[in-house]
Amino acid sequence: MSGSAGFLMESTGTSLPEYQSPPLIEVVFGIQFKKLDKFLAPHVGLLWEKFREEYSTCRELPPIAPVVERFGGKGETEVEITEVPPLPRIWFERPDGTGIIQVQRDRFLHNWKTTGPTDEYPRYHSVSKRFLQYMEDFKDFVEESGLGELNLTQYDLTYVNHILRGEGWEDLADLGSIFPDFSREKQKDRFLPVFSDVNWQSTVDFPEKSGRLRIGIRSGNRQEDGFPLIRFELAARGVGTDKSKEGMRDWFDTAHEWIVRGFTDLTSKEIQEQIWRRTQ
């Protein structure tokens, strides 16, 4: 990474870790911007025509609340509230469910997700290229339709991993075998039994306050069959000083590096090599 946008950090210059069988199930790219008050329901249909050949399914969902990272005080998240009536969040979805474009008045996102055990992650550069192209298509639509311009307030990149029971752990007493920082000694005279649930969250600020990495580890069950799993989510949010297309690309590239290296930093070498088949 060039670091030319003046944010985050210079690249370490070394190759990122790679895994043949990562537990990754979803990647979400997104931008937030000042609310487009002129973006109305009829525009949704016109926009769909741009993506409909590939994203042929459409549905409505509740909008996502506008949340922007702030770094004053304790570094808490700031929620913006306006009086403009809400418009539903719209999903344009591929027939196989592996791709989703999400649009609302102040947000544009693209998801890649698995829908079955044979789906393979097409890798970051392929997914980011798609997102940037679709985002440019949306930007052009906004300008051509006289809806204003995208006043960017934040970028988002999220990686969601599902670590299934049997992949290095059997119960939550084994959490330390995956995440060495959370090891719990198993003396026979411990009073508390094995945890029945885990929900851990933390944050790491990027240099120059241009972003924040949010880390979440929680136990749960797979939606389709209830199979036990650990959800391990890494989400980078922020914005660089350079909001050009090149600056945006640099921000996402560096956020991706933080997510990949953060994933590697927090998980055990044994699980990386034996279960996820780390190659470098």
Of 173, 160, 42, 178, whose CA–CA distance to 111 is shortest? Answer: 160
Say if CB 88 and CB 62 are below 8 A apart.
Answer: yes
Q: How many residues make up the chain in this entry? A: 280
How much is the pLDDT for 202?
95
Please check whether residue 2 lies inside any domain of the structure. no
First to last CA, the chain: 19
pLDDT in tens, 72-113: 755 455 555 666 677 999 999 999 999 999 999 999 999 999
pLDDT under 70: residue ranges of the chain: 1-13, 73-84, 187
How much is the pLDDT for 117?
74
Count of structural domains, the chain: 1
Please check whether residue 16 lies inside any domain of the structure. no
Please check whether residue 17 lies inside any domain of the structure. no
Please check whether residue 197 lies inside any domain of the structure. yes
Q: Residues with Cβ < 8 Å from 35, sequence gap 6 or more? A: 66, 82, 84, 105, 106
Please check whether residue 14 lies inside any domain of the structure. no
Please check whether residue 280 lies inside any domain of the structure. no
Please check whether residue 78 lies inside any domain of the structure. yes
User: Which residue range(s) make up the domain with 110?
Assistant: 24-274
Please check whether residue 264 lies inside any domain of the structure. yes
